[in-house]
Amino acid sequence: MREQIRAIARALDTTGEPRLEESTKRWLSTYGDGSEEFTVLVRLPVDPGPMDAVAEAFAEAGWQVERYEDRGMPRVRASSDGYLADARALDSGLLIKGTAPGVWVARWTRPERAVTPSTVRPGYEICRECDGWGTCEACEGLGFLNGRQCPMCGIGTVCADCGGSGQLPVS
Ligand SMILES: [Zn+2]
Ligand SMILES: [Zn+2]
């Protein structure tokens, strides 16, 4: 997508290389899914005129193009294979923002068990509440359950009985 937007920017710009700003955002959803979203901003020091050239450039590159107005300003929205691009005119030129779809990168997994019967300290026993895991039994340490704050730990994420150590002194 970066290359496509760069190519479109180059086609529109006759004054030199466009300025690019790229960023990647990562987050973990409350369901434990890790995602990544990629954004590229292109600033072009050209007068885009009435945005016709922008719409044409995206259409020629095979994107689906939609023209719309935002607060009286003409804008172009283009999409291709889940990628989105939004172009608008600024005082200083043209701004194209491209966004790649969030890609699934990881799934939350419960951290390793804090203690097992063979690693429990002398004079201690495995916590009955979490069975030695140390993490909250309900949410497994994510802090959320079915997308909501965990009712057991309230995003404390550790076992309330042992505080995360997985073991308690023999009483
Ligand atoms: Zn515990
Ligand atoms: Zn919890």
**98, containing H or E segment:** strand 93-99
Q: Of 62-66, 105-109, 151-155, where does the model show the most confidence?
A: 62-66
Distance from residue 136's CA to the centre of ligand 1 (Å): 7
What is the per-residue pLDDT across 71-106, written as a single tens digit (0 to 9) for each?
Answer: 888 899 999 988 889 998 877 678 888 887 777 777
Q: Say whether pLDDT at 147 is over 90.
A: no
Distance from residue 166's CA to the centre of ligand 2 (Å): 15
Distance from residue 133's CA to the centre of ligand 1 (Å): 7
Q: Which of 54-68, 70-84, 92-106, 141-155 has the lowest mean pLDDT?
A: 92-106
CA distance 59 to 12: 13
- What global pTM score does this model have? 0.56
Sign, Cα dihedral of 80, 85, 89, 91:
negative
Distance from residue 79's CA to the centre of ligand 2 (Å): 40
Overall average pLDDT of the 4-27 stretch: 77
Distance from residue 144's CA to the centre of ligand 1 (Å): 18
Q: 2-104 architecture in CATH?
A: 2-Layer Sandwich (3.30)
Distance from residue 34's CA to the centre of ligand 1 (Å): 26
Which residues make up the environment of ion ligand 2, defined by Cβ < 5 Å?
136, 138-139, 150, 152-153
Domain with CATH 3.30.160 in the chain: 2-104
